[in-house]
Structure 1
Amino acid sequence: MHAWPASEVPALPGQGRDLRIHDTATGGLVTLDPGPVARIYVCGITPYDATHLGHAATYNAFDLVQRVWLDTKRQVHYVQNVTDVDDPLLERAERDSVDWVALAEQETALFREDMTALRMLPPRHYIGAVEAIPGIVPLVERLREAGAAYELEGDIYFSVESDPHFGQVSHLDAAAMRLLSAERGGDPDRPGKKTPLDPMLWMAARPGEPSWDGGSLGRGRPGWHIECVAIALDHLGMGFDVQGGGSDLAFPHHEMGASHAQVLTGEFPMAKAYVHAGMVALHGEKMSKSKGNLVFVSQLRRDGVDPAAIRLALLAHHYRADWEYTDDVLRDAVARLDRWRAAVSRPDGPSADALVEEIRDALADDLDAPTALAAVDRWAAAQEEHGGTDTAAPGVVSRAVDALMGVAL
C-alpha cells in the first residue's frame, strides 16, 4: 500500500532540541534520545468514513514529533497501518450495500488526499492489515506454541496472564479495563475465555465475511492488536522510540499490543514512550463515527477553507488536551493565517533569530504548539506595529513555521 507525497521540509540554521514528551506508561515527561534514526509507529484509520478533525488532530501531533526530530538532523522511520478489514468496515459496507474492499480503497484514498493537503509528513511504510496477514499468522502460531494463546470455538485468544508486564501501559484497574474492553471492540463477557480481558488474535471464518488461509489456524482474519504488532515488529523491531495514537487507544489497543510483542520477543518494553493525543469534541461529545458528530477535513476543504487554517486550528490546542470544535476555532485560525501571511509578505521586518529558538524550545517541551503560535503572533504584531530592517526575517519566519509546524505561508 502506498502513502501520500511528502511536502518539502525547509532546512533551518542551527539545530533543534531533543524532544521531551509525556509517556502514558510512566505518567510523566521523558526525554527521548533516539539514535541517528528515530523510530515511530502511529496507529492508522479503519477506512469506513472520511477523515474528521479528531483524526487530523492525532496525526498533527505525531507530525510535530517527526518535525522536531528532523530539526535535530536525525532521520525518521515512521510506520503507520490501515485496518482495512474489521467489523466496523464490514458493517458499514453492508449498511450501504457496497463492496467492503471498494469502500476501504475509497476512504483510504480520501485520507491520503486530506493528509497531503494538511502537509502531514507521510510514513516510510504504510501497511494494510490484509497485506500484513502473511506476517501475522506465524506470530499467532508462535504465541499458541508458547502457551500464551488458546482456542475457543475455532477462534484464537491471547492470554493476558502470559505477560508479567500486562497493565503497565494504561495502569487501569480490572473494572475499568473490562468496561473499556466492551466499549472498544473486545468481548469480555464471552463464555469460555480464560479471563474476560483476553483479546482475540485470530477470528475463525464467519459465513458471508472475508477470510484468509491461516495455515494451522484455519481460515479466518486477524484480530486488531496483533495486526499492529506484526507491522511494527517487522519494520521497526522492539524498543522503538514512540508508539502513538489517540488517547482512546491506550487501552485496550496499546496495552494488548505491548503484551503480544513482549511475550513474542521476551523483551520489555515494546516502545520507549507511549504517546497519546487528546480527543476532539463537537456539541459536547467526542467526535465519533458511531455518533455521527463529525467535522470532515474534506468537507472543510470543499467549502474553501485553506488547509493551512485547518492546521492552525489544530495547533492552537495542546496535543494532549481534549477540546471542542466550534466555528470560532476555525474563524480564529483563518484570522491568524491572514495576519501571519501579511507579516511575512513585507520585504523586511524585526529579527527572527530569537523567534526560531522560541518555536524550537516550545515544541521540544512536550509539543507545546500553543506557545509556539503565541511566539509567532508576537513577531507578526511587532512587524505590523513597528516593522524592521532585517531583510531576511520574513523568509526565516516563513521557513521556520513550515519546517517546524507544517504551515505553508
Structure 2
Amino acid sequence: MYAWPASEVPALPGSGRDLRIHDTATAGRVTLAPGPVARIYVCGITPYDATHMGHAATYNAFDLVQRVWLDTKRQVHYVQNVTDVDDPLLERAVATGVDWAALAERETALFREDMTALRMLPPQQYIGAVEAIPGIVPLVERLRDAGAAYELGRDVYFSVDSDPAFGGVSNLDAEAMRILSAERGGDPDRPGKKNPLDPMLWMAAREGEPSWDGASLGQGRPGWHIECVAIALDHLGMGFDVQGGGSDLAFPHHEMGASHAQALTGEHPFAKTYVHAGMVGLNGEKMSKSKGNLVFVSTTRRNGVDPAAIRLALLANHYRADWEWTDTVLDEAVARLARWRAAVSRPDGLPAEALLEEIREALADDLDSPKALAAVDRWALAQTSGDGTDEGAPGLASRAVDALLGVAL
C-alpha cells in the first residue's frame, strides 16, 4: 500500500533540541535520545468514514515529533498501518450496501488526500492489515505453540498472563481494564476465556465475512492488536523509540500489542516510549465515528478553508489536552494565518533568529505548540511597526514555521 507525497521540509540554520515528552508508561516526562535514525510507529485509521478533526489532531502531534527529530539532523523511520478489515468496517459496509473492500479503498484514498493537504509527513511504510496477514499468521502460531495463546472454539486468544510486564503501558487496575475492554472491541464476558482480558489473535471465519488462509489456524482474519505488532516488528524491530496514537489506544491496543511482542521475543520493551494525544470533542462529547458527531477535514476543505488554517487550529491546542472543536477555534486560526502571511510578505523585518530558537525550545518541551504559536504571534505583531531592516528575516521566519510547524506561509 502506498502512502502520500511528502512536502519539502526547509533546511534551517543550526540544530534543534532533543525532545522531552510525556511517556504514558512511566507517567512522566522523558528525553528522547534516538540514534541516527529515529523509529516511530503510529496507529492508523480504520477506513470506514472520512478523516475527522480528532484523527487530524493525532497525526499532527506525531508529525511534530518527526519535525523535531529532523531538525536535530536525524533521519526518521516512520511506519503506519491501516486496519482495512475489522468489525466496524464490515458493519458500515453492510449498513450502506457497499462492498467492504471498496469502502476501505475509498476512505483510505480520502485520508491520503487530507494528509497531503495538511502537509503531514508520510510514513516510509504504510501497511494494510490485509497485506500483513502472511506475516501475522506465523506470529499467532508461534504464540500458540509456546503456550502464550490458546484456542477457544475455533478462535485463538492471547493469554495476558504469559507476559509478566502486562499492564505496564496503561498502568490500569484489572477492573478498569475490564470496563475499557468491553467498550473498545474486547469480549471480557465470553465464557471459556482463561482471563477476561485475553484478546483475540485470530478470529475463525464467520459466514458472510471475509476470511483468509491461516495455515494451521484455519480460515479467518487477524485480531486488532497483532496486526500492528506484526507490522512494527517487521519494519522497526523491538525497542523502537515511540509508539503513538490517541489516548483511547493506551488500553487495550497498545497494552495488548506490547504484551504480544514481548511474549513473542522474550525482550522488553516493545517501544521505549508511549505517547498519546488527547481527544477532540464536539458538543461536549469525544468526536468519534460511533457517536456521529464529526467535523471532517475534507468537508472543511471543500467549504473553502485553507488547510494551513486547519493545521493552525490543531496547533493552538496542546497535543495531550482534550479540547472542543468550535467555529471560534477555526475563525481564530484563519485570522492568525492572515496575520502571519502579512508579516512574512514584507521585504524586510525584525531579525528572526530568536524566533527560530523560541519555536525550537517550545516544541522540544513536550511539543508545546501553543507556546510556539505565541512566539510567532509576537514576532508578527512586531513586524507591523515596520522598524526592522533585516532582509532575511521574513524568509527565515517563513521557513521556521514551515519546517517545524508544518504551516506553509
| TM-score bin, normalised by smaller chain | over 0.9
Structure 1 residue runs without a partner (length 5+) = none
Shift of 1:370: 0.3
Amino acid at match of 1:27: A
Q: 8 Å contact 1:279–1:323 — kept in the other structure?
A: yes
**CA-to-aligned-CA distance 1:271-312 (integer Å, 9 cap, x gap):** 110000000000000001011000000000000000000000
Distance 1:303 1:189 in 2: 45
Counterpart in the other structure of 2:157: 157
**Structure 2 counterpart of 1:148:** 148
Please tell me the residue identity of whatever aligns with 1:245. G
Report the residue type matching 1:392 in the other structure: G
SS at match of 1:132: helix
2:230 aligns with 230
Q: After superposition, what is the alpha-carbon deviation per residue over 1:49-71, rounded to whole angstroms, capped at 9, x for unaligned?
A: 00000000000000000000000
Deviation of 1:16 (Å):
0.4
SS in 2 for 1:76: strand
Spell out the pairing of 1:22-41 with structure 2 (5 A cutoff).
22-41=22-41
Helix, strand or coil: the match of 2:108?
helix
Instruction: Please give the TM-score of this superposition, normalised by the length of structure 2.
Output: 1.00
Residue in 2 that maps onto 1:384: 384
**What residue number does 2:104 align with?**
104
Cα distance per residue 1:209-234 (max 9 Å; x no partner): 00000000000000000000000000
> Partner letter of residue 110 of structure 1?
L
Task: Output the TM-score relative to the length of structure 1.
Answer: 1.00
Give the AA of the match of 1:322. D
Q: Please say if residues 401 and 408 of structure 1, whose CA atoms lie closer than 8 Å, have aligned partners that are also in contact.
A: yes
**Aligned runs of 1:245-394 on 2, under 5 Å?**
245-394=245-394
Deviation track 1:109-156 (CA, whole Å, cap 9, x = no partner) reads 000000000000000000000000000000000000110000001000
| Residues 239-262 of structure 1: per-residue CA shift (max 9 Å, x gap) | 000000000000000000000000
The runs of 5 or more residues in structure 2 that have no matched partner are none
Partner secondary structure for residue 400 of structure 2: helix
Secondary structure of the 2:384 match is helix
1:82 and 2:76 are equivalent in the alignment: no
Matched, 1:69 2:65: no
Q: Tell me, what secondary structure is at the counterpart of 2:126?
A: strand
**Which residue is equivalent to 1:219?**
219
Q: Which amino acid aligns with 2:65?
A: V
Deviations 1:356-376 (A, max 9, x none): 000000001100000000000
Q: Distance in 1 between matches of 2:85 and 2:325?
A: 30
Quote the offset at 1:386 in angstroms: 3.9
Structure 1 position 387, deviation (Å): 3.5
CA distance in 1, matches of 2:244, 2:162: 24
C-alpha RMSD of the superposition: 0.4
Counterpart of 2:126 in structure 1: which amino acid? Answer: Y
CA contact (8 A) 1:225 1:253 kept: yes
**CA–CA separation in structure 1 for the residues paired with 2:374 and 2:390:** 21
Q: Any idea what SS the aligned residue of 1:259 has?
A: helix
Contact 1:348 1:392 survives alignment (8 Å):
yes
* Cα distance, 1:237 vs structure 2: 0.1
Corresponding residue SS for 1:385: coil
> Which residue in the other structure is 1:400 paired with?
400
Aligned positions, number: 409
Query: 1:385: how far off?
Result: 2.4
Partner SS, residue 151 of structure 1: strand
The CA deviation at 1:37 is: 0.2
**Structure 2 residue 175 is matched with structure 1 residue 175:** yes
Deviations for 1:191-225, whole angstroms, at most 9, x for unmatched residues?
Answer: 00001000000000000000000000000000000
Partner AA of 2:185 in structure 1: G
User: How far, CA to CA, are the matches of 1:407 and 1:138 in structure 2?
Assistant: 43
Partner of 1:134: 134
Q: Is the 8 A contact 1:54 1:279 kept in 2?
A: yes
Question: For residues 285 and 385 of structure 2, what CA distance do their matches in structure 1 show?
Answer: 41
| Contact 1:348 1:387 (C-alpha < 8 Å) held by counterparts | no
Q: Which 4+ stretches in 1 moved above 3 angstroms?
A: none
